[in-house]
Structure 1
């Protein structure tokens, strides 16, 4: 029976990963940690402040997991501009606490560190798709923190800590907070379709991103945990990019509306890369992972979620 420790278990991806484990490996023992006091999932839950090195060491010592999926972080670029120090604390510092706890206890635990496509920075469109071999050029505090997290992991592989890493591109799906751009847009469009809102507020909708359904993302994380090569980095992406304007149009078609769209200056980000697309060749060829959910199906499922909530 495998034992899993999931940090940030109550977050968007954490909940989906728990569901994936329950359906694909029902005999697994699942430990979850987060900052909330209570948890409504059928797992062994602990409220832990991972910024506290002692608490982090204690939870790893008491559970001795076979696998750690490290999801706990501040995962918003916008938020990182507002509070860069907090972003570093919740990405780089927590990662260091986990790595040190595993190293000091000489555990054979495999750790999956979740990075971001933001680490690549801006490349010209003719240089797409972004490959794991490309030079990293972070353009915002969140991206810098994630590059630091990845570098720490690589240092610890030299110390015989078993770590695999991702550079995860944008993931979307039902239940994602409307603090993020895609659910924010679709929630607004659903509200407009219900006659409760007149104008749709947006930032730059001509930026293009590589979106993957969260249900495919957790399958990728499971594959990397079990079959990824120690010390290696894997892009988790679809290999296809869509402009935010395409998402709006797809949702409008599903809802049968045409929204009055207006740019809100406060939604515009400094240094926003215009076009990002990842190469999924490495994870496809080495681990046999491919996305199962189409872009259209994902958008439809998000629309349905906001219609019901």
Structure 2
């Protein structure tokens, strides 16, 4: 399969690219910078990267790019993906998350490729907002009640994808992953922040670990399981359909933090930092992924203990490398 990934230089994009290459796919990537950097730079030799900014570049230019690359599948990952950041800059969030999806779908429709590439639009489980107890675990039939600009813009992009499938026959499949984490995730996300802080406490460069609301309960999936689901959906998902992705297991931030503290090489003191508490946060979000499992056979392979251990080990290595490269 020949695949095109938007947002390939991001956290999930790098893991997806690795998985597709392992499966024998040929991969082309798009990013706004057109430059490999940081954790994804090792992919530079294996993947062609093209610069394209979905916020400003035209539908016509993307149409020409698609006609030139002729992908069998398009994985649309490019997004402003941080709920907290969306609260401080909602306009940019909407411009990329909805506007970028529109640019992509219009370009796919205009490309005239036969067969039309299958498009996997990556949404988010946070589109469901704060579900009622009767709606837990959350199925795809749960009402959308987004409570931040990130969630609202992703919900709108999902509806746009469904409209394209119903109106134009574009083979669009919607993925709604719930919380996911793994090695190479930025530390602006909660579990990566915890792992980095534990590694810093171990080194003696941080006195304690600072946290926000630990009572939140989530369904966390390893990113390596998430990208396996993406490829399965690109191959077997039904156009116009929505698929939740999650383990179906709930776990609190308190419990995940305790796993990291047990993995730590020295005692870790924890304090609450009020600035880390979001103004709006769902207390509980749990996925029902039975539709995904039924249509694709997907099952999660990584347990949360392995995910957290791998994240902590990578932060240890990253901090070691930073120290080795700093001026003496």
What's the TM-score bracket when you normalise by the shorter of the two chains? over 0.9
Deviation, 1:106, is: 3.0
Q: Which residue is 1:198 aligned to? A: 207
Provide Cα deviations, 1:257-276, integer angstroms capped at 9, x if missing partner.
44222221211112200011
Residue ranges of structure 2 left out of the alignment (5+ in a row)? 319-328
Out of 135-144 and 34-43, give the one that drifted further: 34-43
TM-score (norm 2): 0.90
Distance 1:278 1:216 in 2: 14
Out of 186-195 and 92-101, give the one that drifted further: 186-195
The structure 1 residue matched to 2:143, chosen from 116, 135, 140, is 135
Tell me if 1:187 matches 2:196: yes
Q: Which residue is 1:55 aligned to? A: 61
Provide Cα deviations, 1:59-114, integer angstroms capped at 9, x if missing partner.
21221211000000000000100100000011000100111111122331100000
Cα contact 1:121–1:138 (8 A) shared by 2: yes
Q: Which residue is 1:146 aligned to? A: 154
Tell me if 1:250 matches 2:259: yes
Q: Which residue is 1:94 aligned to? A: 100
- For residues 48-87 of structure 1, what are the structure 2 equivalents within 5 Å? 48-51=52-55, 52-53=57-58, 54-87=60-93
Q: Which residue is 2:17 aligned to? A: 18
Cα contact 1:173–1:302 (8 A) shared by 2: yes
Q: Which residue is 1:43 aligned to? A: 47
Tell me if 1:110 matches 2:118: yes
Where 1:123 maps in the other structure, the secondary structure is: coil
Provide Cα deviations, 1:151-208, integer angstroms capped at 9, x if missing partner.
1001101211110001111110011111111100111011112222112111101101
Cα contact 2:94–2:153 (8 A) shared by 1: yes
Cα contact 1:57–1:97 (8 A) shared by 2: no
TM-score (norm 1): 0.96
Cα contact 1:84–1:141 (8 A) shared by 2: yes
Q: Which residue is 2:322 aligned to? A: none
Q: CA RMSD in A?
A: 1.2
Out of 59-68 and 34-43, give the one that drifted further: 34-43
Cα contact 1:199–1:259 (8 A) shared by 2: yes
Cα contact 2:64–2:111 (8 A) shared by 1: no
The structure 2 residue matched to 1:268, chosen from 277, 286, 290, is 277
Residue ranges of structure 1 left out of the alignment (5+ in a row)? none
Deviation, 1:285, is: 1.5
Cα contact 2:183–2:310 (8 A) shared by 1: yes
Provide Cα deviations, 1:243-293, integer angstroms capped at 9, x if missing partner.
111111001101144422222121111220001110111111221000001
Where 1:112 maps in the other structure, the secondary structure is: strand
Cα contact 2:83–2:148 (8 A) shared by 1: yes
